[in-house]
């Protein structure tokens, strides 16, 4: 592939340029760089000469004044927003006349979360186990300790968002995608690539983190693939024989065409919630940036992996686009991984909305769906690391929030919803690489924070019903805070679910709930007579809060109705009863609103 040779004033200047762009260290003071770095090499004050290594004609995507560009090549097409497709034999001069230039035919070099450099190791982990699902369990929890399993509140989905996974395709036959309401459509493939499935595995792994039944966040999604990497073929319906298979990723020009195809769909039907997940990156391309920006302005939510090269995220498209929701990776101990791209300019940012790197999600040794060609391992699942797998977890959250709305087509609103419901200051930044605003961990708003209590059969104890009323505010046992943030106008209706019909028949007149506030008042059950051999009767129920989108229930709440005949031993009877609640008395959870 054609390059330009850039000579710098010193070896150190050449080395600095190489470091900035994550290139191999130069031997001297010159570097051979790809065309997409041409405008940066031209603009670099320490670069003294630029030499085109061949004199043949190339096709470029250049941004600048048309008349000026025409002095150095032939305009092939006007791409809009000041971009032109230009053929030129003097690319260096064209670069000097451009504010941005890319070789349109050069294949994309995947820098971040690279398709060609994944860390993939075989694992015998069970995808249904808590250990296998640690990534999604982490973001279904807020502060530690974590909920032991991924359990959701009952949610009414008001819509089914479209999630575009721009990647190497998806193997929709993978067991991780079977048996749910998930829909997967092979929607778009760049030209000259075999269209069906996934021949590499990265896309399948990424998809599993967003919409997998064991590993993902939600299945109430219509997934549409945008396949940008695969096996070269002259007929997209025919997979070449294995010996003839050549893997290729899309060119800059092809990526832009794919985004144009999506934009056309958005324009045709603007009311649908759409999210695009990009677990890849290319060297910053102003042209692709403009394509993504147009999509976001049209209402598509762009979620990008920050990248795994430890370089400045602002050097990468699409992660470096300010409006993109850009996701870094944390490990199992809530610490950002060492491979994350960084964002030095974010230290000056004064609002979370202005960050280049916005938030974090698990992305280190996470379990993903696996296909045979991905790495050297076998089996349906493997363990992987990379921001590639953090981004789709947040895409899954975006799908959940989209599902709870009807036609959420505002990227700014979606981004704000995701950032504002994230868990703040739960991560440990070991040095000043990241700033306070970035200490934000994605959170699944429909997660049930009481899941651990329920799973351990932990109960909330109100006390003993005697002369004085027992009063409890259900809000002390329910967490509506995330829902309230997202939907402040929703009306919450509180109610009680009785567990045992016999108990309900006896005690429902004495347990009164204010449906507007959630305050429960328990009065003495004067009309209930207990059997002679019963010193205490446990009255159990569950509190419920409902909106038109979600139903949130408490763990079991109980109180004791005492038999007056046992008043002398009431204290010890209560104590013994409490210790029997779950082996030791500590396994009862105590309500905050005791009287």
User: Which residues sit at the interface with another protein, rule CB under 8 A?
Assistant: 141-147, 333-335, 423-429, 431-432, 436, 439, 449-450, 452-453, 461, 463-464, 466, 468, 476-479, 481, 570-572, 574-576, 578-579, 583-587, 589-595
Residues 6+ apart with CB under 8 A from 468: 595
Q: Are 418 and 394 in contact (CB under 8 A)?
A: yes
d(CA 272, CA 300): 9
Q: How far is the CB of 334 from another protein (least distance, A)?
A: 5
Q: Which is nearer to another protein, 280 or 453 (CB)?
A: 453
Q: Which is nearer to another protein, 125 or 574 (CB)?
A: 574
d(CA 485, CA 222): 26
Q: How far is the CB of 151 from another protein (least distance, A)?
A: 12
Q: How far is the CB of 470 from another protein (least distance, A)?
A: 9
Q: Which is nearer to another protein, 210 or 545 (CB)?
A: 545
Nearest to 369 by CA among 210, 218, 205: 205
Q: Which is nearer to another protein, 322 or 594 (CB)?
A: 594
Q: Which is nearer to another protein, 248 or 593 (CB)?
A: 593
Q: How far is the CB of 286 from another protein (least distance, A)?
A: 35
Q: Which is nearer to another protein, 22 or 591 (CB)?
A: 591
What is the per-residue DSSP string for 204-259? Answer: HHHHHHHH-TTTSS-S--EEEEEE-EEEB-SSTT-PPPGGG--EEE-BHHHHHHHH
Q: Which is nearer to another protein, 347 or 378 (CB)?
A: 347
Per-residue DSSP letter, 70: H
Q: Which is nearer to another protein, 7 or 579 (CB)?
A: 579
Other residues' Cβ atoms within 10 Å of the Cβ of residue 506: 18
What is the Cα Rg of the chain in Å? 29
d(CA 115, CA 507): 62
Nearest to 69 by CA among 83, 53, 57, 51: 83
Q: Which is nearer to another protein, 66 or 595 (CB)?
A: 595
Q: How far is the CB of 537 from another protein (least distance, A)?
A: 16
d(CA 6, CA 1): 16
Q: How far is the CB of 131 from another protein (least distance, A)?
A: 11
d(CA 526, CA 524): 6
Residues 6+ apart with CB under 8 A from 473: 517, 518, 519, 520, 592, 593
Nearest to 526 by CA among 463, 566, 466: 466
Q: Which is nearer to another protein, 112 or 450 (CB)?
A: 450
Output phi, psi for 534, to 5 deg: -110, 115
Q: Which is nearer to another protein, 431 or 533 (CB)?
A: 431
Q: Are 347 and 435 in contact (CB under 8 A)?
A: yes
**3-state secondary structure labels for all residues of 289-301:** HHHHHHHHHCCCE
Q: Which is nearer to another protein, 148 or 509 (CB)?
A: 148
Q: How far is the CB of 184 from another protein (least distance, A)?
A: 34
Q: Which tokens hold the place of 578?
A: 């409490």
d(CA 478, CA 543): 8
Q: How far is the CB of 541 from another protein (least distance, A)?
A: 18
Residues 6+ apart with CB under 8 A from 58: 2, 35, 87, 88, 89, 91, 103, 105
Q: How far is the CB of 128 from another protein (least distance, A)?
A: 20
| Packing angle, helices 252-268 and 286-297, rounded to 10 | 10
Q: How far is the CB of 219 from another protein (least distance, A)?
A: 25
Q: Which tokens hold the place of 363?
A: 């992305």
d(CA 507, CA 526): 10
Nearest to 469 by CA among 528, 524, 541: 524
Per-residue DSSP letter, 53: S
d(CA 276, CA 321): 14
Three-state secondary structure call for residue 541: strand
- Residue 75 pairs in a beta bridge with 86
Other residues' Cβ atoms within 10 Å of the Cβ of residue 529: 11
Q: How far is the CB of 463 from another protein (least distance, A)?
A: 4
Q: Which is nearer to another protein, 177 or 487 (CB)?
A: 487
Q: How far is the CB of 254 from another protein (least distance, A)?
A: 42
Three-state secondary structure call for residue 36: helix
Q: How far is the CB of 406 from another protein (least distance, A)?
A: 28
Q: Which is nearer to another protein, 10 or 143 (CB)?
A: 143
Q: How far is the CB of 333 from another protein (least distance, A)?
A: 5
**3-state secondary structure labels for all residues of 508-522:** HHHEEECCCCCEEEE
Q: Which is nearer to another protein, 320 or 449 (CB)?
A: 449
Q: How far is the CB of 17 from another protein (least distance, A)?
A: 30
């Amino acid at each position: 592939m054609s390059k330009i040779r850039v000579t710098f004033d010193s070896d150190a200047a050449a080395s600095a340029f190489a470091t900035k762009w994550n290139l191999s260290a130069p031997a001297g003071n010159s570097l051979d760089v790809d065309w997409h770095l041409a405008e940066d090499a031209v603009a670099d004050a320490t670069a003294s000469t630029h030499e085109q290594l061949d004199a043949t004609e190339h096709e470029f995507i250049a941004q600048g004044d048309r008349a000026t560009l025409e002095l150095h090549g032939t305009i092939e097409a006007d791409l809009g927003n000041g971009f032109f497709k230009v053929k030129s034999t003097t690319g260096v001069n064209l670069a000097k006349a451009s504010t941005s230039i890319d070789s349109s035919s050069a294949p994309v070099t995947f820098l971040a979360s690279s398709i060609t450099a994944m860390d993939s190791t075989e694992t015998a982990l069970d995808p249904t186990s808590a250990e296998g699902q640690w990534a999604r369990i982490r973001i279904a929890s807020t502060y530690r300790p974590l909920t032991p399993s991924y359990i959701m509140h009952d949610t009414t989905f008001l819509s089914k968002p479209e999630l575009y996974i721009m990647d190497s395709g998806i193997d929709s036959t993978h067991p991780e995608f079977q048996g749910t309401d998930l829909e997967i459509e092979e929607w778009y493939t760049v030209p000259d690539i075999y269209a069906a499935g996934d021949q590499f595995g990265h896309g399948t792994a990424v998809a599993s983190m967003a919409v997998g039944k064991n590993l993902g966040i939600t299945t109430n999604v219509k997934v549409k693939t945008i396949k940008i990497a695969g096996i070269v073929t002259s007929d997209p319906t025919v997979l070449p024989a294995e010996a003839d298979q050549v893997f290729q990723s899309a060119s800059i020009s092809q990526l832009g065409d794919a985004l144009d195809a999506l934009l056309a769909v958005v324009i045709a039907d603007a009311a649908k919630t759409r999210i695009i997940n990009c677990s890849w990156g290319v060297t910053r391309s102003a042209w692709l940036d403009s394509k993504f920006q147009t999509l976001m302005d049209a209402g598509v939510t762009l979620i990008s992996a920050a990248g795994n090269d430890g370089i400045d995220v602002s050097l990468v498209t699409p992660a470096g686009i300010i409006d993109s929701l850009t996701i870094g990776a944390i490990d199992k101990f809530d610490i950002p991984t060492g491979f994350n791209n960084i964002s030095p300019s974010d230290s000056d940012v004064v609002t979370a909305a202005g960050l280049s790197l916005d938030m974090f999600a698990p992305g280190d040794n996470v379990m993903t769906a696996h296909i045979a060609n991905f790495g050297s391992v076998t089996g349906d699942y493997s363990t992987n690391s990379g921001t590639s797998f953090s981004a789709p977890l947040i895409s899954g959250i975006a799908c959940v929030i989209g599902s709870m709305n009807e036609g959420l087509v505002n990227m700014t609103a979606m981004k704000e919803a995701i950032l504002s419901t994230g868990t703040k200051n739960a991560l440990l930044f070991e040095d000043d690489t990241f700033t306070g605003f970035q200490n934000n961990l994605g959170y699944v708003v429909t997660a049930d924070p009481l899941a651990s209590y329920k799973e351990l059969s932990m109960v909330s104890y109100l006390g003993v019903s005697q002369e004085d009323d027992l009063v409890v505010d259900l809000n002390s046992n329910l967490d509506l805070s995330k829902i309230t943030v997202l939907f402040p106008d929703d009306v919450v209706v509180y109610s009680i679910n009785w567990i045992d019909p016999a108990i309900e028949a006896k005690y429902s007149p004495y347990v009164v709930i204010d449906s507007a506030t959630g305050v429960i008042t328990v009065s003495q059950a004067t009309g209930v007579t207990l059997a002679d051999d019963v010193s205490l009767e446990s009255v159990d129920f569950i509190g419920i809060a409902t909106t038109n989108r979600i139903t949130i229930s408490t763990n079991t709440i109980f109180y004791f109705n005492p038999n007056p005949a046992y008043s002398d031993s009431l204290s010890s009877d209560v104590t013994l009863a409490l210790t029997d609640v779950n082996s030791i008395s500590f396994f009862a959870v105590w309500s905050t609103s005791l009287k």
